[in-house]
Amino acid sequence: MTERRFSIKAPGGVMEEMTWVDVREAAAAGLPAVVAVGSTEQHGPHLPLNTDSILPAAIAARAGERTPLVVAPPIRFGARSRALSGGGESFPGTLSVRAGTLIATLTEVLEGLGRAGFTKICVQNWHFENTGLIWEACDLASEAHPGVRFLLLEDPMPSFTQEDLEQLFPSGFVGWDVEHASVMETSLMLAIYPDLVRRDQIADDAAERHPSWDLVPAPPEFVPASGVLSRAGDASAEIGEKFLEAISGRLLEALATEFDCAVA
């Protein structure tokens, strides 16, 4: 649906809304396909469960305004949620799959994109728990499609300067690991899908304890009651627009560098 908000350069588009003839044309034109690997996961009382899938798709669509590309169907069920990075599996509505299921799904989807004729496939991750599970899917799909180059962005964030961080995080940057349903994601949603944000429910929260290691099973003090892991209250559409520009900019840089895509 991001197509409605962004004007992807022809013959690119949002693949789920394209016909097979469109896809054939886009692949024949050498366009890259961008596959988001997200999740269906609680994002606090103010963001929808599909936040992790529609945000990376929208970021790819934004990049598509400057270079033609195909936004492939996102992988919407991600690896099991962990308390310290996503609240954990106990939140109603968090729907996750086992590692093996995620790897199999992604592998088969990547193989399908290879069969469709795409030779430039970019996989961008937007769910911390997926990290480490994506590379093998690319490796396996690569065995079946040796002519395809897979570009993998496990961490979708660009590197920000200290000055950037101060602008993006008005109350101070406390680490990407707690940026779940917090400033960054809430701001992006306010910029792109404001009607999906319950503004009156935005609040700050944090796990009572957040060590640099993890415990299984997660003790109660690792789980913030609201599902928000940091300060969502600082979020704004303006900050969201800055993130959108920066993150889509890094995606464009990667596409230009590795796939020789011309960026307008």
Q: Which residues are catalytic?
A: 41, 43, 52, 127, 129, 180, 185
Q: Under the criterion CB under 8 A, does residue 177 sit at the interface with a second copy?
A: no
Degrees (nearest 5) of the Cα angle 97, 100, 105? 75
Angle between helices 20-28 and 99-116 (to 10 degrees): 70
Question: By the 8 A CB rule, do 78 and 105 touch?
Answer: no
Nearer to a second copy, 65 or 89 (CB): 89
Query: What are the Cα distances from residue 129, in Å, to 52, 64, 80, 196?
Result: 11, 27, 7, 24
Residues 6+ apart with CB under 8 A from 201: 44, 45, 46
Site for a second copy in 62-91 (CB under 8 A): 73, 76-77, 79-80, 82, 89-91
Q: Is 223 in the site for a second copy (CB under 8 A)?
A: no
> Which residues are CB-neighbours of 17 under 8 A, at least 6 positions away?
1, 3
55 binds a second copy (CB under 8 A): no
Per-residue tokens: 56: 């990376």
**Which region, judged by CB under 8 A, interacts with a second copy, from 60-68, 150-158, 162-170, 236-244?**
150-158
Of 175, 194, 217, 220, the residue at the interface with a second copy (CB under 8 A) is: 217
The whole-angstrom separation of Cα 63 and Cα 19 is: 21
Residues 6+ apart with CB under 8 A from 7: 65
Q: Is 212 in the site for a second copy (CB under 8 A)?
A: yes
Q: How far is the CB of 66 from a second copy (least distance, A)?
A: 18
Question: How far is the C-alpha of 154 from the C-alpha of 125, rounded, in Å?
Answer: 5
DSSP reduced 3-state for 181: coil
Encoded one letter per residue, x for contact with a second copy by CB under 8 A and - for no contact, window 15-54 reads xxxxxxxxxx--x------------x-xxxxxxxxx--x-
List the x/- string, 184-203, binding to a second copy by CB under 8 A: ------------x-x--x--
**Closest separation in Å from C-beta 5 to a second copy:** 12
Using CB under 8 A, which of 7, 10, 136, 166 touches a second copy? 136
Q: Which of 92, 161, 163, 172 binds a second copy (CB under 8 A)?
A: 92
